[in-house]
Amino acid sequence: MSAVLVVHGGAWAIPDEMGPASVDGVKAAARHGASVLKSGGSALDAVEAAVRSLEDNPIFNAGHGATLNVDGEVELDAIIVDGRTLASGAVSCVTNIANPVSLARAVMEKTSHIMLTGKGANQFAESIGINTVPTDKLVTEYEKKEWEKHKKYIAGVMQEFNTKWAHDTVGAVAVDCAGNVACATSTGGIRNKMVGRVGDSPVIGCGGYADNSSGAVSCTGHGESILKVTLARLVLSHVEQGKSVADASQLSLQYMSDRVQGAGGTIVVAPSGQWAATFTTERMAWAAAVDGELWFGINPEERLKEKLSQ
Ligand code: GLY
């Protein structure tokens, strides 16, 4: 079977001036992840590589470019899940890590735990030699300005989350040639969040989930809403009941909207290679590397295509 990789750069009302860079960023990340799959890497390797690319790109709210908490500090969350074994690793509230997704993978592979938080996660990073950066290096001028503008935390219900104020999360899902699936999600969380607030992204079954028996999902959107409906698992439970990945995503996002007035987006891939990128916000930048082609979009219903090898 052929491998598939899908990425997103966050579901929110992306302003026009950030549109082209967001689309370029997800396309570059999808190409990077696809090249890992092409050279024989696993789905797990591919989602980590794709998310690292998104974390390194300051246009996105993850790693470099992350949103700031109420004290003006970066606190990062990330998860990675291996659909072969249901193994997962996550970190929350980490401060000076450029690529939290790789630290999450280290938690999965080098500890007997699933999630490390705050100081403990940072200490673990040091102990295994994960690259650390001064936290200031992760802060962009754009985020500093937005933080100044919106000093007050706004509860991100549907109308509020789906604004140019939001700025949300990156993620990737993949299926490799062996039919193994994986997901990864990484975020700075919600701008002006309380110190110590953890959203959906690092929580298994909420910000992401992967199981070879059904598929892999990465979520984006209002974290408290995603947590309430366990969005990633909800999507896969619809898949398990026979829905296509596109219908499963739509039903789950609609449920989140109706039940808790939350907006967001998902990317999904099934072991068969079926995939979807769906959102209930104004926009979500996404890209999918499928059968030598790169699909991408940012507006509802938009599906553009170019050759992957360009
Ligand atoms: N979806 C990311 C967050 O709410 O933290």
Residue 198 in marked binding region: yes
Complete DSSP assignment for 31-98: HHHHHHHHTT--HHHHHHHHHHHHHH-TTSSSSTT----TTS---EEEEEEETTTTEEEEEEEE-SBS
Instruction: Give distance in angstroms: CA of 292 to centre of ligand 1.
Output: 32
Helices 100-110, 43-56: axis angle to 10 degrees equals 150
Number of domains in the chain: 1
Average confidence (pLDDT) over 59-75: 93
Nearest-atom index, ligand 1, CA of 207: 1
Pocket of ligand 1 (CB under 6 A): 168-169, 187, 189-190, 199-201, 220-223
Q: Read off the pLDDT of residues 200-209 as tens digits, 9 standing for 90 and up.
A: 999 999 999 9
Write down the pTM of the prediction. 0.95
Q: Which of 132, 140, 163, 169 is catalytic?
A: 169
| CATH at 38 | 3.60.20.30
Residue 139 in marked binding region: no
Instruction: Give distance in angstroms: CA of 61 to centre of ligand 1.
Output: 10
Instruction: Give distance in angstroms: CA of 272 to centre of ligand 1.
Output: 29
Domain of residue 200: give its range. Answer: 4-307
Min mean pLDDT across 24-33, 138-147, 230-239 is at: 138-147
Residue 32 in marked binding region: no
Instruction: Give distance in angstroms: CA of 224 to centre of ligand 1.
Output: 7
Identify the CA nearest to 117 among candidates 138, 136, 100, 135: 100
The per-residue pLDDT for 164 is 53
Active site residue 281: no
The residue whose CA has the least distance to atom 4 of ligand 1 is 223
Pocket test for ligand 1, best of 169, 193, 229, 281 (most atoms within 8 A of CB): 169
Pocket test for ligand 1, best of 68, 165, 222 (most atoms within 8 A of CB): 222
Residue 25 in marked binding region: no
The per-residue pLDDT for 135 is 84
Q: Work out the pLDDT band at 158, boundaries 50, 70, 90.
A: very low
Residue 216 tokens read as: 């892999």
Nearest-atom index, ligand 1, CA of 156: 4
Spell out the residues 6+ positions from residue 209 whose beta carbon is closer than 8 angstroms to its own. Answer: 81, 183, 216, 217, 232, 233, 236
Q: Read off the pLDDT of residues 251-280 as tens digits, 9 standing for 90 and up.
A: 999 999 999 989 999 999 999 999 999 999
Residue 220 in marked binding region: yes
Give Dmax (Cα) for the chain.
Answer: 50
Q: Work out the pLDDT band at 192, boundaries 50, 70, 90.
A: confident
**Residue 165, pLDDT above cutoff 90:** no
The backbone torsions φ and ψ at residue 28, rounded to the nearest 5 degrees and listed phi first, read: -65, -40
Which residue in the block uniquely carries the two structure tokens 């890590």? Answer: 97
The residue whose CA has the least distance to atom 5 of ligand 1 is 189
The per-residue pLDDT for 168 is 80
